Structures are given as C-alpha cells and as structure tokens.
Amino acid sequence: MVDKTLIRDLDVTDADIDRELVEAFGEVSELHSELTKSIGDTKLVASDDTILRGRVIGITNHEVMVDVGLKSEGIVALEEWEDPTELDVGDVIQVLLEDIEADTGLILLSKRRADRLISWRRIVEECAEGDTVTGRVLRKIKGGLLVDIGVPVFLPASQVDIRRPAEIGEFIDREIQAKILRIDKERRNVVISRRKLIEEERATAKAKLMEEIAVGQLRKGTVKNIADFGAFVDLGGIDGLLHITDMSWDRIEHPSQMLKIDQEVEIKVLNIDREREKIALGLKQKEENPWERVGDRYPIGTRIKGEVVNIVNYGAFVRLEPGIEGLVHISEMSWTRRINHPSEVVNAGDDIEVVVLDVNKDKQEISLGIKQTEVNPWTTVAQKYPPGTVVEGTVRNLTNYGAFVEIEEGIDGLLHISDMSWTKKVSHPSELLKKGDAIRCVVLSVDQEKMRVALGLKQMVEDPWVRAVPERYQPGMVVRGKVTKITNFGVFVELEPDLEGLLHVSELADHKVENPQDEVKIGDEIDVKILRVDTVERKIGLSKKRADWAGEGGEEGQEPYQDRPQRKERRGGLGEAFGSGLGDLQMPDRD
C-alpha cells in the first residue's frame, strides 16, 4: 500500500494514480514478467538461487560463452552488453538461467535479466516509499513515462512537474530525480513522483527564502509564466509577481515584449505579504525614475523632438525619452484650424517637434504644444485689420447666431446676425447668405487674446434710421401700406420693403375694436397716418382712423384742413434710395 504521507500534498488522488497505473502497468508488467520466467532445470543444479556466477571463456561476433559450473557451457547474446568492447575473456559475471535445450544440452543464459533481478532485489532491500531515486527516462507510455532506476518504474504524467508540461515527451533521455510513491512487491511495480520531490525541495527553499527576503533586495529568479497583466518569477521556492506596470518606465503593451519563459532575471523586491505569502517584484525600480529630474531636463518653453506613441480623441501622447511622455492636447495643435480629431494632424509613429508648456512632476504629466512651434498669426491680426477695415471673405459656416467668414487662411471673423441688416429682422443667417458666398464686410473689433474678429455687413452703408427714415416719414403724413401681420394688440403694416409700422388696435376705427381681424385682413392695402417716428427704438406709430378722417373731408372730429398732409403712395423702399447694400433692412420690433 502507498504511504499516504507521501502524496497528501499532491493535486492528485489515490484513485487518479490507480487509474493511471491500471493503464500503464500492463506495459511495465510485461518487462518485469521476464524476471519471473521459468528457469526449468536450473533448480537441479542451482538450488533456489536463480542467479548464477560464471566466467567468460569465449567471445564471438554474436555470442558470449560462459562457464557456470555445469556440464555444458552457457550462451549469452552479445547484444545484452551496452558496450561489448568492455567485455574480456576471464571476466566473472552474473547470469540468469533461462533454458536448457534437451537435444543439445545447450544452456541459454541472460545477463540483462540477471541484472534486473539483482536491481529489483536491491531496491526492495535498500529502498522504501519516500526515498529519492535517480533514473533515466526511457520512453513515453500511456499515462506517463517509463523511467529506468535499475528496473523500469512508472512516472505518472501528473507527477512529472508542479505544472503539468504540455508535452511530457521532452523528458525522454533525461536523467531525473524523483520520490518513490509506491512499491508493489507482488507485482514488482514501482511508482515514482518527480513533482513530490520538487515540492519538498521548494518547501524547504521557501521557508529559507521567507526568512531572508526583505523589501529593497535585488534577487535573481526565473520567469515561469507570462500573463497579460504581468509575469510570475520563481525566486527559488516561491513565485513573485512582476506586474506589467513595474517592468519598464517606458510604455509596453504586453510583458512578452520584455520577458520570455525560463529567462533568468534580476529583480527588486517591492513588497512582501508574509501572511498570504505574496511578493511584489519590480524591474524598472532598478533604475532611477526619469521623472525625478524631469523639470531640469524639460523646462517650460523647451523645443524638442519626440515620437507620437498614442492617439486619443482629446490629443496625442508623445514620447520624449524612454519613460517620459507628454500630451499634446487637441487645442494645442493649430492656431487657426478647427481640428475634430488629432489624426487630422499627426499619426502614431510620427517624429514631430513640440514645445513644453507645463510640467507636473507629482502627477507625472507634461503638457506639450505643436502650434507653439509656429508664429501665432493672431499677433498680427490687430495691426492688419484695425476697426473700420473693409475686407473680402468667404462664408465658411452658418450658425443660428451668425456666419463665420474666412478673411485669410486660418483667420475667421464672426458676422453676427444683429450686424447683417439695419432694417430687416433676420431670424437665421441663411435668409441672406449661404456657405461659399463671397462677401464684403467691415471689421468692427479684434480681440487678440480671445482670437476673435467681429464683422459687420450693415455697417457697409449708413443707418437709414439716422436720416433717411425720419426724412421720408414725418408725423402727420398719410401713406399707403400693406397689412403683413395681425395680433391681438394691433396690426403691422409694411410701408415699403423691410420697413413696417405698428397700427395699434385703438387706432383702427372710431368704435371699439374687439378683434382686429374684423377690420382688416392680411394682404389688405390701407391708408394710414403717421403718428410718430422713434429713431431710438426704430419704431413707427400709425393710425387708420385718423387717415379715414382726412379722407372724409372735414366731418366732425376730423383735423383742420391745414393740418391734413398730402397722401404718400408706397414706394420702392430705403434700399432703392441708399443702394443695394440696404436691401436687407431690419423690421421694427413686432413685440
């Protein structure tokens, strides 16, 4: 039976080993059965001793003649010696009597089987379960390996190593040491475990290592396993974890870029958890942290070349040296271009020139800029385009609040919706402009710090409310207009294109008007009298009932004849009087 203390720490049960033995012992037993083959008439001459001593008396190309003290000489096949050149006449050897031919009296002997029987007896006498033995791996058999320790013994695949190898055949012809797990004297079978021996050796080494190891030590180890997050390094009894972030100050994508299985490395002990028996290791800590003196090497304003190593939505990371990377934010890539993604400017692997904008040693961050390597065009915009300068540009984009006009490459000005027309109330820039239009504007202001240029279109002509409107429309005049909008408080009347006046509900008729729509309809042309012209508020007050009085020729309540103004028909409009630049005039506030 197996000594349970020998396998209590193995990740395999007795049933597992028995199953492997059942599969493999058939082959092993065939080898051992040769040891128990009947020796026939040997009993007559050698009593109970199956092993005979003999002296070599002759050697041929294929056979060795041996005198074993019987009536005839015995024959041993020459191939049973691994090196026949070492055999000489007169040598004394031990052999096993296999057979005696009745007709010729020839005695057949076997040195190989004698050696195996002697080895088996030695193992039974000298070895016990738990002892360490040394042997050479013969071949791979079902369930494991066959190992020669003097006799063939079985090494289950699960007992080859701590971690089961992908291919156990790599151990063939190798000399190994192992622990004896089981000796079956009846069947002359032996089971060994290399894994058990390794675990015992590691347990001893581990106890010693845990006594000696300390944080900060440099130790040598062997890489045993590599994962995405790091590598496990055998320190000699216990594995430590070398995390990927502790391998290099520089950026690495996978531990396999630096390490390979079975590689010997010198590492630094970073942390020890003795209760959980976990050790954290580091490679990069063997060298000085490059961020320690980063401020001295990269003062603000330094111009330096680097390699783009990563691109994200908000910018690009640039390696300045191994372990030192800086970020070029998307806003620091161009003075004038509106960049949607960093890939419009740089690609991974590009060598570019950058300027150091800021250094934060504690956070290990460096802010870099690409646009700072060029002259800022906005430094000359204020001198090139002082307020009042007339510029020509192309409408590059339209928004709800205005239009962006490119006045030179990379320099856009904003034409606000309120600066498009003096008289017309513009709801959206698309009412007057479209993308790609070439227009002439006047520069209103330049904010160099905020990099903004304000443009005006209506300022290209004189404000008609300053002179033209007051001159053309004076209080007391009766003019013809067209109803454009009806509200509960009154009616808007277009006097000419882009110029409207307000006819209040109280000025619609002599009687009280509940609903203005009972008096007028949209599109009606009516005569109205100008009551007031407010150039500050840009509003014109109108009256229909007062115009009606004037047309009735002096009925009760009408104005004196001398106060009646001459009627004024609707005309071409202010734009016609002041040029095409006034074609888009602001309408009065309808509210």
More confident residue, 23 or 497: 497
Does residue 207 contact residue 199 with C-beta atoms inside 8 Å? Answer: no
* CB 369, CB 354: distance < 8 Å: yes
For residue 271, the cross-strand partners are: 280
Give dist(CA 42, CA 337) in Å, integer. Answer: 106
Q: Specify whether domain 213-286 bears CATH 2.40.50.140.
A: yes
Res 403: pLDDT: 93
Would you place residue 563 in the very low, low, confident or very high pLDDT band (cuts 50, 70, 90)? very low
String of DSSP letters for 455-514: EESGGGS--TTTTHHHHH--TT-EEEEEEEEE-SSEEEEEEETTEEEEEEGGGS-SSPPS
DSSP 335: S
Instruction: Give me 94's structure tokens.
Output: 């031990």
Q: And the tokens for 84?
A: 């026949």
Which range (45-49, 145-149, 158-162) has the least confidence? 45-49
Q: Dihedral sign, CA of 417, 421, 426, 431? A: negative
Q: Say how far residue 119 (Cα) sits from the centre of its chain.
A: 62
What confidence score (pLDDT) does residue 103 get? 67
pTM: 0.44
Is the pLDDT reported for residue 499 higher than 60?
yes
Mean pLDDT of 106-135: 80
Q: Confidence band (pLDDT; 50, 70, 90) for 289? A: confident
Cβ atoms within 10 Å of 253's Cβ, excluding its own = 8
Lowest-pLDDT range of 20-24, 164-168, 174-178, 458-462: 20-24
The rounded distance, in Å, linking the Cα atoms of 577 and 564 is 26
* Predicted local distance difference test score (pLDDT) of residue 244: 92
Read off the pLDDT of each residue in 469-490 and give the average, rounded to a whole number. 89
378-460 sits in which CATH class?
mainly beta
The top-level CATH class assigned to 290-373 is mainly beta
Angle value at C-alpha 265, between 263 and 269, nearest 5 degrees:
140
Instruction: State the pLDDT at residue 242.
Output: 93
Q: d(Cα 326, Cα 352) in Å, to the nearest integer? A: 12
**Rounded CA separation 291/557 (Å):** 94
Average pLDDT, the chain: 80
CA 424 to chain centre: 55
Task: Please give the distance of CA 465 from its chain centroid, rounded to a whole number.
Answer: 63
In one letter, which amino acid is 31? Answer: L
Cβ atoms within 10 Å of 94's Cβ, excluding its own: 15
Q: In which band, very low, low, confident or very high, does the pLDDT at 18 lie, cut at 50, 70 and 90? A: low
Whether 516 contacts 491, CB under 8 Å: yes
Place of tokens 């020890």: 272
Helix (H, G, I), strand (E, B) or coil at 302: coil
572 CB neighbour count, 10 Å cutoff: 9
pLDDT > 90 fraction of the chain, expressed in percent and rounded: 26
What distance in Å separates the CA atoms of residue 191 and residue 400, rounded to the nearest whole number? 87
Strands (E), 12-100: 51-59, 63-67, 74-77, 92-100
Output the pLDDT for position 551.
Answer: 67
> Which range, of 46-55, 138-147, 501-510, 553-562, averages the lowest pLDDT?
553-562
pLDDT(357) > 90:
yes
The yes-or-no verdict on residue 566 having pLDDT over 70 is: no
**Quick check: 413 and 454 in contact, CB under 8 A?**
yes
**Fold match flag (213-286 vs 468-582):** yes
Question: How far, in whole angstroms, is CA 374 from its chain's centroid?
Answer: 32
Name the phi and psi angles at 199, rounded to 5: -65, -40
Nearest to 389 by CA among 364, 363, 370, 408: 408
**For position 31, what pLDDT does the model report?**
43
Question: Domain locations in the chain?
Answer: 213-286, 290-373, 378-460, 468-582
Most confident of 248-262, 344-358, 467-481: 344-358
Average pLDDT, integer, range 55-69: 86
Fold of 468-582: OB fold (Dihydrolipoamide Acetyltransferase, E2P) (2.40.50)
